[in-house]
Structure formats: C-alpha cells, structure tokens
C-alpha cells in the first residue's frame, strides 16, 4: 500500500513505480526523443509511437494503438462527442470530460504529500511537485529564464518574445497570443458564467469567484483567517500577501532600482518602467503599449473614434 495516497498494489515493483508519481522523479528516458517517464512500463508504451503502424494520414503523427489513432483523428474532424452536463463544454475523450467535471464538483483526488494541496489530475500534481524540488528543466532560448513546465516556457516565448496574436475575438476583433486569453475575453461579450454553484443558482465567470462564493455563502472549503485583523481569504496566495502588508515585508526587489513590492505581479508591472519593450497592440490602429490596461483603455477610445461604440454597450 502506498503510504501517501493509500492506493494498493499486488506487486512491489508496481508500488515502487507508483511512488515515483508523488516524488516527481522520472528516471526512464527514451533514446529516440529524450522524453522521460516515471516507470519502465510507461517508457515501453511510449516507444511504440516511434515504431507504430498507426499513423495519421492528415499530419503523420504516430499513435501507440488504433484506439489512440481514432481519438487523435477527432482533432482533424473537429469531433467532440462528450459533453459536460453542467456547462455544455465538449471534449474529445471521456477521460478529458471526467477531469473537467471535477472543476464543477470540486473533487481533487490527487494530494501532495508535502503540503496536502489537492489537484484534479496526476499530471498537475507532478508539475506541482517541482515547486518543492525546485526543478525547472525548461530554459527559454531567448532570455535563459527557466520553467517547471514546457507549456509555460512556450507560453512565455509566445507572449514575451513574439508579436504574434493569432487568436481573434469574433465580436470586436481584438487579438490575443493564447486561446485561453481569448476565451476569457469573449466572456465579456457573451456574459458566460461557466462555473456554477452546486448549492444554489449562482454562476461565475472565473473559478476563483466560485471558490470564494462557496466559502462565504455555504461555508465550504478552506478559509484562511488573519489573526491580526480577522480578515478571511479563500485563496492562500491572497492570505500570504495580506500578511506581508501587516509585517511590511516586501520580498520582491527590482534589479534596476531600490523599489520593493509585496507581490511578484507588482514587481513585474513596475519593471516595465525600465524597458522600452511593448507587447500589447491595438488591433484597430496598430499602436503598441507596455501594459494590458493601457491597450484596453486605448482600444475603447479608438473604437469610439471609428464608430464601434456599440461593442462596449453591454459592458
């Protein structure tokens, strides 16, 4: 039995492989592509991709089994047969729907054995473990900044080192570097509130809003209470930041000047003062800005000049 999550195994080797999930260690490496895995069985399964007879005729990708190829083909066909009965979002696989459903149910079955934080799937837990181990194996080729996830590194390159904004809003034409940013922006126009409370009819635009509502209205979830002023927080990060303000601790220091800040996001915003890099562009006139707030303010003024006032009438 695993001493971390109580999961049971019939063979000691399987138990040892399972324990690597909690430690984040990946000692089995593919000689073909260098990808690492927590167990020999996962590596063996992965190697089938390099010799697979199941090859997509659309993009040439190789899959380990015929079932995996069938799922992959849904990408090209645009098929998403599995629908969430809460928010109607659709998915290509039943596993993806199952993981998504945990957003609405609040279920987090994968627990970190160091800090007890819960996660909706094991992959997110594995990435979280790098917080404790300090492992940041992905380095940006442009600025040498390191990341714990390959996806975060790619996002960093796209946002900071690229001017590409391939995702365009169908309502106002504003462009975004990632699909997630576009999805969040579109909710401004549609008023969509995909995160629903299971106790009442309340709906929310963002998951943190639902978390705060569950805590304040239904006394559900973990509450972080300041022992100095008794202020309550639903998010531990907000609680920690609040404590720093009582202690006057500003751990984030600018490397260009003596300014100090309570939060990393405040330091990041300040550092724009020391650079001429402008990453936000108005999609109407092409003018560039350092800050997202600046381009949003400008975009509204620009749209009024061009006669697009009705775009923001619903906001």
103-108 mean pLDDT: 82
**Residue 90 CA neighbour count, 13 Å, CB half:** 8
| pLDDT above 50 (res 295) | yes
User: From CA 214, how far away is CA 198, in angstroms rounded?
Assistant: 9
What does the buried/exposed string (b/e) look like for 134-146 if buried means 16 or more CB atoms within 10 Å of the residue's CB?
Answer: eeeebebeeeeee
* Highest mean pLDDT pick, 26-40, 196-210, 235-249: 196-210
Is 90 in contact with 80 (CB distance < 8 Å)? Answer: yes
Q: Map out the domains of the chain as residue ranges.
A: 1-79, 222-275
In tens, the pLDDT along 45-68 reads 777 777 767 888 888 777 777 888
| Across 111-115, 140-144, 292-296, least confident range | 140-144
pLDDT for res 52: 66
pLDDT confidence band for 311 (50 / 70 / 90): very low
pLDDT confidence band for 192 (50 / 70 / 90): confident
Strand partners, 167: 176
Superfamily classification of domain 1-79 = Classic Zinc Finger (3.30.160.60)
210, burial (CB in 10 Å: exposed 0-12, middle 13-18, buried 19+):
buried
pLDDT for res 179: 82
Q: Is the dihedral of CA 151, 192, 210, 87 positive or negative?
A: negative
In tens, the pLDDT along 131-171 reads 676 666 677 777 767 776 777 777 777 666 766 777 888 88
| pLDDT above 70 (res 315) | no
pLDDT above 90 covers what percent of the chain? 0
208-231 mean pLDDT: 83
pLDDT for res 133: 67
98-109 mean pLDDT: 84
Greater confidence (185 vs 247) lies with 185
Output phi, psi for 294, to 5 deg: -65, -45
User: From CA 68, how far away is CA 75, in angstroms rounded?
Assistant: 12
pLDDT above 70 covers what percent of the chain? 85
CATH code for 222-275?
Answer: 3.30.160.60
Q: What is the mean pLDDT of the chain?
A: 78
Fold agreement between 1-79 and 222-275: yes
pLDDT for res 314: 40
In tens, the pLDDT along 259-284 reads 888 877 788 788 878 877 777 788 77
pLDDT confidence band for 20 (50 / 70 / 90): low
In tens, the pLDDT along 116-131 reads 788 888 878 877 776 6
């Amino acid at each position: 039995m695993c001493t971390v999550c109580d999961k049971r195994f019939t063979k000691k080797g399987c138990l040892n492989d399972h324990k690597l999930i909690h430690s984040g260690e990946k000692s089995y490496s593919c000689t073909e592509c260098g990808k690492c895995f927590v167990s020999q069985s996962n590596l063996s399964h992965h190697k089938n991709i390099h010799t697979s007879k199941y090859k997509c005729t659309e993009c040439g990708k190789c899959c380990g089994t015929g079932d995996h190829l069938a799922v992959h083909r849904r990408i090209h066909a645009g098929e998403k047969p599995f629908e969430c009965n809460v928010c109607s979002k659709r998915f290509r696989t039943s596993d993806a729907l199952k993981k998504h459903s945990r957003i609405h149910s609040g279920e987090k079955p994968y627990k970190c054995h160091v800090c007890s934080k819960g996660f909706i799937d094991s992959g997110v837990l594995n990435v979280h473990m790098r917080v404790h181990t300090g492992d940041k194996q992905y380095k940006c080729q442009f600025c040498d900044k390191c990341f714990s996830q390959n996806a975060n590194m790619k996002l960093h390159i796209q946002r900071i080192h690229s001017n590409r904004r391939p995702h365009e809003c169908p309502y106002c034409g504003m462009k975004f570097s990632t699909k997630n940013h576009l999805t969040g922006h579109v909710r401004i126009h549609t008023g969509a509130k995909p995160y629903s409370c299971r106790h009442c009819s309340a709906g929310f635009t963002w998951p943190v809003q639902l978390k705060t509502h569950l805590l304040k209205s239904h006394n559900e979830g973990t509450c972080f209470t300041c022992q100095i002023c008794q202020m309550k927080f639903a998010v531990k990060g907000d609680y920690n930041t609040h404590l720093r303000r009582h202690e006057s601790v500003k751990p984030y220091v600018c490397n260009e000047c003596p300014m100090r800040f309570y939060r990393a996001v405040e330091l990041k915003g300040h550092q724009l003062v020391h650079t001429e890099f402008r990453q936000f562009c108005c999609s109407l006139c092409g003018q560039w800005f350092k800050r997202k707030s600046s381009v949003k303010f400008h975009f509204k003024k620009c749209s009024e000049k061009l006669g697009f006032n009705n775009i923001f009438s619903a906001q």
